[in-house]
Amino acid sequence: MKRLIFFFCALLAGCNSGQPVTTQGQDAAKGGLPPVFGDEYADKYFSDSRVRQYLTPHRIVWKSDNEQLLINPNGLLAKGNNGQSELTNKKVCVMKSTDKEFPGLVLDFGKEIQGGLQIVSTMESASSFPVRLRVRFGESVSEAMSDAGSQGATNDHAMRDFIMEIPWLGVAEIGNSGYRFARIDLIEPNKTLGIKEINAIFTYRDIPYLGSFRSNDERLNKIWLTGAYTVHLNMQEYIWDGIKRDRLVWLGDLHPEVMTVNSVFGFNEVIPKSLDLARDITPLPGWMNGMCSYSLWWVIIHRDWYRYQGNREYLTQQQKYLTDLLTLLLEKVDENGHEKLTGGGRFLDWPSSPNQKGVDAGLQALMTITMEAGAELCSVLGDNTLAQKCTETAEKMRKYVPDHNHLKQAAALLALADMLPAPQADSEVISVGGAKDFSTFYGYYMLQAQAKAGNYQSALDNIRQFWGGMLDMGATTFWEDFNLEWLDNAAGIDELVPEGKKDIHADFGAYCYKNLRHSLCHGWASGPTAWLTEHVLGVKVVEPGCKRLKIEPHLGDLQWVEGTFPTPYGVVSISHKMQPDGKIVSDIKAPQQVKIE
């Protein structure tokens, strides 16, 4: 109800006021400490912008066989009493161990979340001394059933395999990871533990989904929402790459997330906080995250953030670093227009890494796009001299078009940089094999190149096949990596792997994400959410701050689509219906400050 009320308030405010409507007031908890702490604590604390919700388990996936040692486990599926221990308990779960047998079970909380676990004990415990449990979190059932160090399962970035003590008649809370499944085992011999509740502690930003997308294709609807939710989970105090592993601000990976935030949440403090963090911890001539391409993405992200949010004051705060970075980048282009980026890993994304020739082509295109973005930002900031240098460099770079070497990532960037005709890049490389050789990160730019080529139907089919393939395997968030070949004879992440089936989590992966170390919630995989809003709902930002929007829908084989789009002035409502003659009838409602083409 709170989100619904905020949605209508934002819409009304945007339509009746000349002031931008933002959600900045909801972004951070600004309350101070109680007065007893005094002024000496003024600079010794920080507030958390997140909330906590407690989730009851959705189902029991697995339990130990001896029913005498695991009594009434289904009692854990009933909603508890707000985590409060009680003297009188009915139908509680009781775990009993012997000197040889130790009961355990795996709980499914229904959706991937970021957070920990709460366990409430009862009087049924055999003594008043604490009892030790082993807890294992998992993004898949296989991971929850695994030991740290086995099949790639780790405690990197966040503990997912640990031992905790449960007090008698009390509550224990522990854990901070990304997970959907939790395995709990009683590990001490000859113990009895009564458990009233086991709740997942869901920690997240309580922000409204101002953007939306619905069509007659429920698969696409689910993909849009899953991408939005994937990014939402990664919007912690900063925006992360993954909530289980890679809980870091990675600048290249951040761009698809920023575009999803623009399409779903509008302004959110997590973006400028993360961009500023990367700037402040990367003195020049260093590269962000140690990779030259990621400093390029910082420029591109600022260009797109300014386009959507239109905050010139914030952009002005970046001018010194932006100017110095662009000056450094200009020195990395020779007289023939060849990029000469050195001193950092030459990287696009992991799947492209073996194709160094293709990576080189992609970096040439990415540098060209960066020069264009730099010119646009410098023009806004009034530095016409540097803007002209960036424009001239981009034009010079376009005269050298390296071989994409049949790498879809490179072909997409070359098309987006206007170095290769988009229809040619699409027909010769990107559309070959459909979604084969798509990647979760650069799939967004492959879709963008297909849109530029006018091949919207193929892009829709690729979204359904590639991102829909993860949903078919039980995904509730999109993954760090995915390959269509993994689907052959594979079991889903939400089940015990039957004999003769492949484990889609434990049997695949490469580079830094081998097997169970593979993250199943990675914000860089959210590209279809932003893409569907831009190209199917048809929203293109023409003037910074969304003061002017062009609505140009491409429905492909869809019969209708409707949704909303957040602007600094309020929410735009859009619907399109395909008529029998192929024409589209649209209905658009926008705040008066937003001009619609």
pLDDT digits (tens, 9 = 90+) for 376-386: 999 999 999 99
The DSSP output letter for 427 is I
pLDDT digits (tens, 9 = 90+) for 22-56: 443 344 445 688 888 888 888 888 888 899 999 99
What CATH code would you report for 1-47+207-270+437-480+519-597? 2.60.420.10
What CATH topology corresponds to 52-204? Answer: Jelly Rolls (2.60.120)
pLDDT digits (tens, 9 = 90+) for 249-285: 999 999 999 999 999 999 999 999 999 999 999 999 9
pLDDT digits (tens, 9 = 90+) for 373-429: 999 999 999 999 999 999 999 999 999 999 999 999 999 999 999 999 999 999 999
Give the start-to-end residue ranges of the domains of the chain: 1-47+207-270+437-480+519-597, 52-204, 282-420
The whole-model pTM stands at 0.93
Contact, 367 vs 413, CB < 8 A? Answer: no
Q: Which residue has the tokens 């160094």?
A: 356
pLDDT digits (tens, 9 = 90+) for 528-574: 999 999 999 999 999 999 999 999 999 999 999 999 999 999 999 99
Contact, 378 vs 429, CB < 8 A? Answer: no
Q: Residue 497: what are its φ and ψ, rounded to 5°?
A: -75, 115
Give how far Cα 90 sits from Cα of 75, 87, 333, Å: 9, 10, 73
Neighbour-count burial of 29, counting CB atoms closer than 10 A to its CB (0-12 exposed, 13-18 middle, 19+ buried): exposed
**SS3 state of residue 251:** helix
Measured CA to CA, the distance from residue 439 to residue 408 in angstroms comes to: 9
